[in-house]
Structure 1
């Protein structure tokens, strides 16, 4: 399993990327339409026009309580930025989409990240983004067993990103 995340902004922003062989609008739909988002992350309810939606994650072992997500930026089909606070922390997320090689390039950034959280956060985003890739491709997304076997081992490498010598 490859580590794709990099640190920006003195280690306070984690950036990860993925490529898709589909048009940007298709990837956008998997980020913004509740039924498509459900295939890899969770569902949302509410009216995005109000600037808030309630997101219920569904890929975890146990469904959690809905979390209030504030829509910070929504510029279809290129930029989606949301903020949320839950029992796991402070989430400042931005997804940028751009046409690339006849398909779409996605960059996810989590800003205001506490570097001590990298060993858990990095592998989690790798897993979720691979689930998104599978959802867009119409294939079976990685499950929790794959997370434990393939993604958790990335924790040490993510921890190493935070060290000054960065021995990756």
Structure 2
């Protein structure tokens, strides 16, 4: 498939992230409410672990917390982990910090930061009819490779969140990511 075919309008999945400035990608989703339920899926370890990563967080700005990712366990639909991600088969734990905590409307956290400066993820929620508008903005990404991985990753995780909130069984994270990575690159 050529690059033009990969990005033809009929092949671009719904809910694509938008580059809003260099190093910043933004996603929007309309999710089933109420807002307190969606907030719980962002902030409560057990619920967040169903679509992103588990990890207890103290509900206030300035606190550090860890996220434990198990992307293979986000769906009962199991496929083999792609070879280049085998090192994550047992999961991976990452360190973060809450930079803003304004329930039930805004959560901002640091992201990454191993050998590079951490980026930042902001979740904004707003009631919209019976639904909840989620705006996720990931900023301070250092390069195009990061934008590709983050774009495909967040798109996949948000699709799983929408399925969970709607009572649907999500597909495998790796299936979603594998389809989205070439589109985001």
TM-score of the two chains, using structure 1 as the length reference: 0.81
TM-score of the two chains, using structure 2 as the length reference: 0.74
Change (3 A) 1:106 1:57: same
User: Equivalent residue of 1:44, what SS?
Assistant: coil
Change (3 A) 1:19 1:25: same
- Give CA deviations for 1:2-58 in whole Å, capped at 9, x if unaligned: 3521122x3221100110122111110101111101111111035445711111012
Between structures 1 and 2, the one with greater strand share? 1
> Mapping of 1:130-141 within 5 angstroms?
130-141=159-170
Cα RMSD (Å): 2.2
Residue pair 1:54, 1:68 contacting (<8 A) in 2 also: yes
Change (3 A) 1:148 1:31: closer
User: Equivalent residue of 1:114, what SS?
Assistant: coil
Change (3 A) 1:39 1:86: same
- Give CA deviations for 1:115-138 in whole Å, capped at 9, x if unaligned: 412222211111011011112122
Structure 2 residue aligned with 1:19: 30
One of 101, 105, 112 as aligned partner of 2:129: 101
Change (3 A) 1:12 1:132: same
User: Equivalent residue of 2:112, what SS?
Assistant: strand
One of 28, 45, 50 as aligned partner of 2:39: 28
Gapped regions of structure 1 (runs ≥ 5): 157-168
Structure 2 residue aligned with 1:152: 181
> Mapping of 1:2-17 within 5 angstroms?
2=14, 4-8=16-20, 10-17=21-28
Structure 2 residue aligned with 1:165: none
Q: Which segment is superposed worse, 43-52 or 18-27?
A: 43-52
Q: Count residues in correspondence.
A: 155
Gapped regions of structure 2 (runs ≥ 5): 1-12, 73-80, 82-88
**Rounded Cα–Cα distance in structure 2 between residues aligned with 1:58 and 1:37:** 11
- Please list every run of at least 4 consecutive aligned residues from structure 1 whose deviation after the TM superposition is greater than 6 angstroms: none
Residue pair 1:67, 1:86 contacting (<8 A) in 2 also: no
